[in-house]
Structure 1
Amino acid sequence: MDLFRIFYKWAIAALFVTWLPLITGCDKLLDAGSPPNKVITPQVYKSDSLAQAALIGIYFKMMENFGPHNGYMSRFPGFSCDELFRTNTIEQDQPFLTNTIPSNNLTIWFIWTNTYGYIYQCNDVVEGLTGPNSITPALRNQLLGEAYFLRAFSYFYLVNLYGDVPLVLTTNYSQSARIPRTPIDDVYKQMIDDLKAAQDLLTNEYVTTPDYPTARVRVNRLAVKALMARIYLYRGEWANAAGSATEVIQSDSYQLETNVQQSFRYDSKEAILQFMPVSNAYNTAEGSMFVPIVPNGRPAIILCDSILKYMDPLDKRKAWVRTVTVGGKQYNSPYKYKLNTGTPREEYNMVLRLAEQYCIRAEARAMQGQLPDAVNDLNTVRKRAGLPDLTNITTQTQALVAVEQERRMELFAEWGHRWFDLKRWPAITPTHPDEKRIDEVMNALRPATWKTTAVLWPIPNSEIIRNPSLTQNEGYN
């Protein structure tokens, strides 16, 4: 059964019919009530509670199991570059550790199909709330804004993993089943359009409940601006990137935690957006993957030596690295999240946070030649890390090298930042004009297996078979 037929089956019976009873059993902030067992899609948008359940169902599904927006973006892009490694060998991870992913790889298929699943669900909410509906206007704006954000968020990861991807904006199976790949620029344009619509619909306030009065687990306007800042940065729109980041930074809604151990807690002051856990098995997927159950146990996933090589001995972010000696050998693993079980419930999936906004603005300012301002932003991040201010940066190249250093130390093992950064940055010492930073790094790290075409993952072969309009990325069969 092909991808879009799966989506069609999901919608035809009822919108999230099988999910709604599950939603009611999780944390109350994600509880939309107990609707009837059979709800057809048109009825959803005649009821405030059902419409809210439809939107909440997207968050719930994203966090229900390990997946594209719950751990996988920290794990597999990290394996694909100079960030993460394994202490043992398992079949699922090996192709990413050698950049030799076959087009029939189940992980890249799982990420593709599930991300399009989220997009389909967002499309349903968008169609339901932009068509005839009976939803309270304020609630309609909130839910529609969240759906636009989550759709843009999902497309951001698709294009950065796979390149050109089908731009599906409808739930109509007959229209979407044979959509070809859309150029990246057009997909990014849609992301920006979605985010501009979202910012006009949302406010800076978070949706909360009396039980969770400070939770930041539903999208607000500032989360939209934070994602816009990132997308503008990736597109080279420096002024827009700096402007969006500045709005978030100057909102006074967020502060860098002076104690880095607090940065990834559920009540982190620097959290712009978090996804709330819904599984009883773990707090976060990263904590479950990176932290061994046995306190002194050998971690399965460790940090590459090159990260620690570049970490200043004074850097307080060493608290984000777990070091243990097993059998006379030292292992260093990600430790931003400390908990590998479901209780106590103290860590949420950190999606967007303030430190990234400072890094975005620093890079955007450096690219515009605003070096003192760029250095000030980097020094803000460094101060929290207990490091001295940067001085004697007089060239754009020096500033951008400093940006890479801070982004690497601040954002490691987090949402694929390192992999995506290496792909978008030019080489420091290029041997030809178009060479990217990733070729410098990966040719040194994996000279036997690295090929430039590995910057994109393959389009799942099963999807190409089912949709003749799809084409494969260069370098894959």
Structure 2
Amino acid sequence: MKTISKYLTVSVIGLALLSTISCKKALEEKPYSFYSPENFYKNESDAKAAINGVYAALYTWEMYLQPFWNMTILDDDHVSGADWYLGTTGAGNPQSYWGVDGPWVGCYTIISRANSVLENVVNITDIDPDVKKRILGEAYFLRGWAYFQLVQLYGGVPIHLKTISASNPETNVPRATVKGTYDVVISDFKSAEANLFPAGHAKAGEVGRVNQGVAKAFLAKTYLTIGSGAATGNVTVRGGTDNGYYTYAKTVVAGLEGIDSKAYFLLARDKAAELLVPGGPYALTPNWKDLWSIAGRNNKEQMWELQSLSGTSFINEIGNYFSARSTFGQGAVFTTNNHYKDYDETDTRVLDGITHNYTTLQGTNIFYPSWQSAKYKVVNGVTYNNTGSTTAERAYTIKYSVTEPTVVRSDAFVPLLRYAEVYLMYAEAENEVNGATTLAYNALNEVRLRAYLKTGTPATPVPEAYAPAGMTSEQFRSFVLAERAREFNLEGIRRFDLMRWGIYLQVMNKIGTGQNNISKLRANKNLLYPIPLGELNSNTALNRTNNPGW
């Protein structure tokens, strides 16, 4: 099946109009050419090239080549790694990371390119009307997605809904409020939903493009983010130095004060419910491990994956850092021992999802974890030896498989939205609206039952597969948050979950110094990332005022 990465490789000339590629260190922009909208946007091919240029911004040194996933995955309570790599963003020091400006620059690049598509494709007449509608929907979605990332990472940001031009020369735009920025996100996702086609539709486009279901899911996710950010109450989290259970009084996320959280939870629940349709285009992959194989790419659960293609520009570095075997000898990022212990022993997400036996690039056989040596020290006649040091205690994920494990940049696919999250969004929202109802339990258990071993004839889930019965609303809230951590480990969701529930500082500071001596201590300034100095210096409407503490 044709995927968007293959389509991009033959139409990357679409970047001719849409501007720029960024240099790794200096973020220097180099224009591809001097085409203008007037002499570029002529026909369907031009429109397709233009929207491909918006997607192409995801593959840059600002976004998924490294910086975006570095800054959204490494900074949470369940991540550890080599101190040479996690010593900046992973230790609460993003200003020391060379790519610190990446998400801001990358997201605004997406916004600028999407604006160009929206302003010009609408006027093209030499185009299939359905393709035209889809391309406009993709542009709305990608712009909304970029603002969704920005508001979560930086708070309220300047809103640009038109390209900078002679008729719109103003570049000095003040920051919108947090709520005002979310309003733009919601509006764009709604417009995307109205224009995009469902998955499987003949005009929905190649695999890897967003579709109507993806827009619905991100709309639900936006509502859920606002609802949880505005809510009050308690959340219990397993963690700290002793991996105990601690209950925290959540704080309301700045900018969401006074919002009716229950109203947004209701919106989130109802929008998620639109996707939970039996026989629809999406489904959980029956075998959890199959999600992460090369053959399992673009399955029905992976609603939106960042496509990659070895040997082209559409690659990234995440596999080299997260996989057990890498050009470093072994990977630099792994799951903490404490989080590993939060999985039941019959949970395939830890049985299969963690690499228990591997050989480093230097040929050393290592097993994990040392306390389960009876299971993993000798496997299929091969003996794996631990060094007795923290070097061996590395729980590597299988999620970022690549076809070329001995190169730095390869073709790992990055999950941007999975159907499992729709179930868990529904469970969370239904609980906040009506309590831990049967509907909430059913959605939660759909995800859990898939992940557990089955026994007997006919095969039935083991008892521990089912979520504990009789939970209160507060207990269910905490359980869903923990379930999301187990299901989406190292997928860039945990940090956002801690932030939107207003418990990030409490959870991180309860740990103090984490595994491998990685600091988890955080200050109030770590709630938002710093606005790039280049933006502060060039946008006079910001009055050189950065986020608190920066």
Interval containing the TM-score (normalised by the shorter chain) = 0.7 to 0.9
Is residue 2:409 matched to residue 1:354? Answer: no
Equivalents in 2 of 1:353, 1:454: separation in Å? 28
| Equivalent position to 1:247, from 264, 270, 274 | 274
Which whole-Å deviations, capped at 9, do the CAs of 1:316-366 have from their partners, x for residues lacking one? 011222235353423112221222628999863321110010110010011
The answer for the alignment partner of 2:510 in structure 1 is 444
Contact 1:226-1:357 within 8 A present in 2 as well: yes
The answer for the alignment partner of 2:301 in structure 1 is 270
Partner SS, residue 302 of structure 1: strand
| Structure 1 residues 43-442: aligned runs within 5 Å | 43-63=39-59, 65-69=60-64, 72-90=67-85, 93-102=86-95, 106-131=98-123, 134-172=126-164, 175-206=169-200, 216-236=207-227, 237-250=264-277, 252-264=280-292, 265-280=296-311, 285-293=317-325, 297-318=329-350, 319-324=352-357, 325=366, 327-328=387-388, 329-339=392-402, 341=404, 348-371=413-436, 372-386=438-452, 387-414=464-491, 416-425=492-501, 436-442=502-508
Contact 1:233-1:241 within 8 A present in 2 as well: yes
Partner SS, residue 444 of structure 1: helix
Equivalents in 1 of 2:441, 2:67: separation in Å? 32
Which whole-Å deviations, capped at 9, do the CAs of 1:52-109 have from their partners, x for residues lacking one? 101012222312x45424554443223222122222414xx4222221333x754221
Contact 1:283-1:342 within 8 A present in 2 as well: no
Distance of aligned partners of 1:125 and 1:135 in 2 relative to their CA distance in 1, 3 Å threshold: same
Long gaps (5+) in structure 2: 17-32, 228-263, 358-365, 367-385, 453-463, 514-518
Equivalents in 1 of 2:170, 2:451: separation in Å? 48
Distance of aligned partners of 1:193 and 1:161 in 2 relative to their CA distance in 1, 3 Å threshold: same
Identify the range of structure 1 (327-336 vs 255-264) with the bigger mean alpha-carbon deviation. 327-336
Equivalents in 2 of 1:76, 1:196: separation in Å? 28
Which whole-Å deviations, capped at 9, do the CAs of 1:399-428 have from their partners, x for residues lacking one? 1111011100011111x2111111111xxx
Which whole-Å deviations, capped at 9, do the CAs of 1:220-262 have from their partners, x for residues lacking one? 1111101111111111111211111111221611111111122
Contact 2:320-2:327 within 8 A present in 1 as well: no
Contact 1:287-1:339 within 8 A present in 2 as well: yes
Contact 1:283-1:340 within 8 A present in 2 as well: no
Distance of aligned partners of 1:392 and 1:320 in 2 relative to their CA distance in 1, 3 Å threshold: same
The answer for the alignment partner of 1:20 in structure 2 is none
Equivalents in 1 of 2:187, 2:469: separation in Å? 40
Contact 1:162-1:458 within 8 A present in 2 as well: yes
Distance of aligned partners of 1:39 and 1:289 in 2 relative to their CA distance in 1, 3 Å threshold: same
Equivalents in 2 of 1:373, 1:68: separation in Å? 37
Equivalents in 2 of 1:396, 1:348: separation in Å? 36
Q: Which structure has the bigger radius of gyration?
A: 2
Q: CA deviation at 1:284?
A: 5.3
Partner SS, residue 484 of structure 2: helix
Q: Quick one: which amino acid aligns to residue 420 of structure 1?
A: F
How does the TM-score come out when normalised to structure 2?
A: 0.72
Which whole-Å deviations, capped at 9, do the CAs of 1:261-292 have from their partners, x for residues lacking one? 22133232211112221452786543232115
Contact 1:261-1:320 within 8 A present in 2 as well: yes
Equivalents in 2 of 1:190, 1:139: separation in Å? 24
Aligned length in residues: 435
Equivalents in 1 of 2:498, 2:170: separation in Å? 33
Equivalents in 2 of 1:382, 1:226: separation in Å? 20
Partner SS, residue 249 of structure 1: coil
Contact 2:336-2:394 within 8 A present in 1 as well: no
Equivalents in 2 of 1:423, 1:82: separation in Å? 12
Partner SS, residue 469 of structure 1: helix
Q: Quick one: which amino acid aligns to residue 89 of structure 1?
A: W
Partner SS, residue 272 of structure 1: strand
Partner SS, residue 210 of structure 2: coil
Q: CA deviation at 1:31?
A: 3.6
Q: CA deviation at 1:443?
A: 1.2
Equivalents in 2 of 1:67, 1:292: separation in Å? 25
Q: Quick one: which amino acid aligns to residue 468 of structure 1?
A: T
Equivalents in 2 of 1:128, 1:157: separation in Å? 25
Equivalents in 2 of 1:132, 1:67: separation in Å? 31
Partner SS, residue 339 of structure 1: coil
Long gaps (5+) in structure 1: 1-24, 426-435
Alignment RMSD (CA, Å): 3.1
Q: Quick one: which amino acid aligns to residue 548 of structure 2?
A: E
Which whole-Å deviations, capped at 9, do the CAs of 1:177-224 have from their partners, x for residues lacking one? 211111111111111111111111111045789xxx996311111111
Which whole-Å deviations, capped at 9, do the CAs of 1:140-171 have from their partners, x for residues lacking one? 10100000000111111111111111111111
Identify the range of structure 1 (298-307 vs 142-151) with the bigger mean alpha-carbon deviation. 298-307
Q: Quick one: which amino acid aligns to residue 96 of structure 1?
A: T
Distance of aligned partners of 1:162 and 1:296 in 2 relative to their CA distance in 1, 3 Å threshold: closer
How does the TM-score come out when normalised to structure 1?
A: 0.83
Identify the range of structure 1 (220-229 vs 165-174) with the bigger mean alpha-carbon deviation. 165-174
Partner SS, residue 124 of structure 1: helix
Equivalents in 1 of 2:547, 2:488: separation in Å? 28
The answer for the alignment partner of 1:14 in structure 2 is none
Contact 1:215-1:267 within 8 A present in 2 as well: no
The answer for the alignment partner of 1:4 in structure 2 is none
The answer for the alignment partner of 2:234 in structure 1 is none
Equivalents in 1 of 2:508, 2:5: separation in Å? 42
Q: Quick one: which amino acid aligns to residue 524 of structure 2?
A: T
Equivalents in 1 of 2:225, 2:138: separation in Å? 22
The answer for the alignment partner of 1:15 in structure 2 is none
Q: CA deviation at 1:462?
A: 2.7
Equivalents in 1 of 2:475, 2:306: separation in Å? 36
Equivalents in 2 of 1:271, 1:86: separation in Å? 27
Q: CA deviation at 1:172?
A: 1.4
Equivalents in 2 of 1:288, 1:61: separation in Å? 21
* Identity value in percent: 27
The answer for the alignment partner of 2:373 in structure 1 is none
Q: CA deviation at 1:313?
A: 1.2
The answer for the alignment partner of 1:430 in structure 2 is none
